[in-house]
Homo-oligomer: A and B are copies of this chain.
Amino acid sequence: MSRFLSDRFASLEAYVPGEQPQDMQYIKLNTNESPYPPSPSVRRRLMDGEIEALQLYPNPDYTRLRQLLADACGVGRENILLGNGSDEVLSMAFLAFCDGTHGAVFPDVTYGFYPVFARLYGIPFREQPLREDFTVDPADYMKNDAMVVLANPNAPTGLSLPLETVEAILRANPDRVVVVDEAYVDFGGVSAAPLTAKYDNLLVVQTFSKSRSMAGARLGFGVACRCLIEDLEKMRYSINPYNINRLTAAAGEAALEDAAYYQDNCRRIMQTREDTARAMAAMGFTLTRSQGNFLFARHPKTGGGELYQALRDRGVLVRWFNRPRTADWLRITVGTPEQMDALLQTLKQILEG
């Protein structure tokens, strides 16, 4: 750090994104991207005039994109906030609804960005241990004096909470915001978005990065009651009112108009997930019942780090979180059936080798 950096960041640890080694071509199963490209409608829409208007600022209201999202979620346009990826929506939520005295609480095993946001903004936080089997104990989130942040399905475990449990947590925390991060909801989960009509303390966060094949376009959104969205809009207009560029906004609109394409991809990915999980179980792996576009697995005989490195040496990238509770496990993105066949073959080689 330079001598100019504010002292409060002296020990800040930034987020570590999945690696992108450039030394060779890998089968990339480490950042939960979709193996399928965006819908052809996205290309058509980008060709069709958007590039020529690039010298003009976008309309910071993003009226049409927000309306399409509102229609898809069954809410009003005033209930939608856009982010440069869902990370930006989460960042604005930590900034808006927490401070030095109002903290945050989330599981000890979850998306690694939550503690980073909390440290960045000087927010006290508690990492609530999951049960031994990585399930959430709902009792841990009843009557907190802190913003509750739950990924549902959770990552990297893939485990879901039923909507009744989410609702019980909402009811038990009427004075604090409950953030439900639904990055992976389209692979078998049920969205809490309709509950935003009933609970003014609920913020649902979703992304185009997974089920909608647009990780490279950076588009996320929040769904909440009008009042919470107004607060978050105040943040957005105080940081970057034009946070979504024209190309991404147009791509997002086109994607929403081709919902069937993406639903079909999700079905294929879920099918591939189940097939791969079955094959891995037959090889002796223990797996959680993942409802994301990834598997979370460990082998009784081979450690997570060892397996990660052996896969990497053979051209298959997966994610290994070297922390106490997850060091034996691997998070493996569900790719195409061909990619998963290659993964299974490689695992077989390693385990028999």
Contacts and interface: CB of A to CB of B under 8 A. Distances in A.
A78 interface: no
A54 interface: yes
A282 interface: no
Contact of A239 (B53, B91, B218): B91
A36 interface: yes
Contacts of A17: 57, 60, 237, 241-242
Contact of A4 (B88, B177, B214): B177
Interface of A: 1-9, 12, 14-18, 20, 28, 31, 33-38, 42-43, 46-47, 51-61, 84-85, 87-88, 91, 95-99, 102, 116-117, 119-120, 175-177, 200-201, 209, 213-218, 225, 227-228, 230-231, 233-235, 237-248, 251
Contacts of A60: 17, 20
A187 to B, nearest CB: 15
Contacts of A55: 33-38, 213-216
A95 B119 CA distance: 13
Main secondary structure of the interface of A (DSSP, over half): loop
A346 to B, nearest CB: 21
A57 B16 CA distance: 14
What is the total number of copies of this protein in its complex? 2
A1 B97 CA distance: 11
Contact of A228 (B2, B35, B91, B98): B2
Contacts of A33: 55-57
Contacts of A38: 51-52, 54-55
Contacts of A213: 54-55
A241 B15 contact: yes
